[in-house]
Structure 1
Amino acid sequence: MSATAIVIGATGLVGAALTDRLAEAPHIEKIITLTRRPAPHASAKVENRVADFARLEDYGELFRGRWLFSCLGTTRRQAGSIEAQRQVDLIMQQQAAELGARGGISHYLLVSSSGASAQSSNPYLKMKGELEEVVRALPYERISIFRPSLLLGERNHLRLGEKLGSWILPLLCTLPGLRRFRPIRGDQVAEKMVQVSTTPGPALEFFSLDEVFPDKNVPS
């Protein structure tokens, strides 16, 4: 099987850091990044393909390799509505996961969210939980789901709510019972994803915040 990794959401906070780390990883021979706009990369290992995510079925031939890293996501404000956000965070993600399964990819790695649940009353956590349920039913040899809290790092656009949260949450999360909600840097999630892709694991695994990074690495 080709040591090829496919990355969707490669221009986002986690996806960009992930692509950089995969480009340096010796177990990866080739990286295909699917993006809505051109996103060139300095590494010769990275092949960027511009895709219409509303027509992902047209790009099925690109979903062939060993790993599919799914980092795609948006916000309600960026998308314009909950339904538009759902198209990105659930529908497009589901289509990509199905194409990867049909293309013979063996290991699927998903960035989900802390608190994801299909039964949640929160629309964002609900769509994340629904996506988890969908992908768990697909015939991958291995599925790794990462559930970070608020992601910290430099973005290409301002997310005001996340910016405020990055200031306030680290202080609140020093209180007992709130540590599991503390923020994490996007590059830490990316590093963990690459690490997981190099080692054997169970058919289905979840990585909560404490499993992504220990207390000594908590951002200040």
Structure 2
Amino acid sequence: MGKTAIILGATGLTGGILLQKLIEDNRYKTVKLFSRKKIERLPPKVEQFIGNMLELDNFKKDFTADEVFCCIGTTAKKTPNKETYKNIDFGIPVTAAKLSKENNIPTFLVVSAIGANPESSVFYSRTKGEMEQEVLRQNIMNTYILQPSIIGGNRNESRIVEKIGLVVFKIVQPLFFGKLKKYKITEAEHIAQAMINLANSTLKKQIITSEEIELLATKN
């Protein structure tokens, strides 16, 4: 009997890649998407629940699965208001973790970021750190927090400045060795594959660094 997976953030870069991988993965019978807008032309194994992600509690009855993959995240450019930003980057993953605990879902995976620290003076890093802290407080049996560096990949929306920045970053990457190695670009494809591999592993480590993401992505 196949497994059921929940994806939060399937309309984003990493979540979209993850969705396609889970559709093709025969270990998964059902993939549930919780999002604010519908994705068209998906196969029958995908169930979609559309609504306000800031009110995720409303989906409690349908929030049942074997694994939850949380790929939710915004940017300061898209969400300049700090309160709204925190409601998304902190509120949604934490609510999802609480629902997972309440509904006895044994595996919870969430994409955070390198440098996440609840004590950081940087709002972005502090928000991610506080999110991680609260997710871990739920004591879900298998909890995996992935901390990628800058995420690379082909985004649908036009983000010219970001694309230029990624090109420049890739050029200077050969200079990143030793302690700087962890700051190399983390491809969204690798994050998605690492998440699937983690969900189907017995690894007990909870914090997964950018370097570990790369290693996990290559495992069959």
TM-score (norm 2): 0.90
* Partner in structure 1 of residue 189 of structure 2: 187
2:157 maps to amino acid: H
RMSD: 1.8
Q: Deviations over 1:138-164 (max 9, x none)?
A: 031110111111111122323345323
What is the deviation of 1:87?
A: 1.1
Q: Write the deviation string for residues 28-85 of structure 1: whole angstroms up to 9, x where unpaired.
A: 1111001101113532211111021122111101211110100001111111322221
The aligned amino acid for 1:73 is G
Cα deviation digits, residues 187-208 of structure 1 (max 9, x gap): 1110111111112121x42221
Match of 1:201 in 2: 203
Which range moves more in the overlay, 48-57 or 124-133?
48-57
Residue of structure 2 in register with 1:63 after alignment: 63
**1:114–1:148: 8 Å Cα contact kept in structure 2?**
yes
Q: Structure 1 residues 185 and 118 mapped into 2: Cα distance closer, same or farther (>3 Å)?
A: same
TM-score (norm 1): 0.90
Match of residue 214 from structure 2:
213
Q: Percent identity?
A: 27
Q: Which residue of 2 aligns with 1:140?
A: 140
Residue type of the partner of 2:192?
A
The worse-fitting range, judged by mean Cα deviation, of 72-81 and 154-163 is 154-163
Give the paired residue count. Answer: 214
CA distance in 2, matches of 1:74, 1:161: 16
Q: Superposition pairs for residues 11-90 of structure 1, below 5 Å?
A: 11-90=11-90
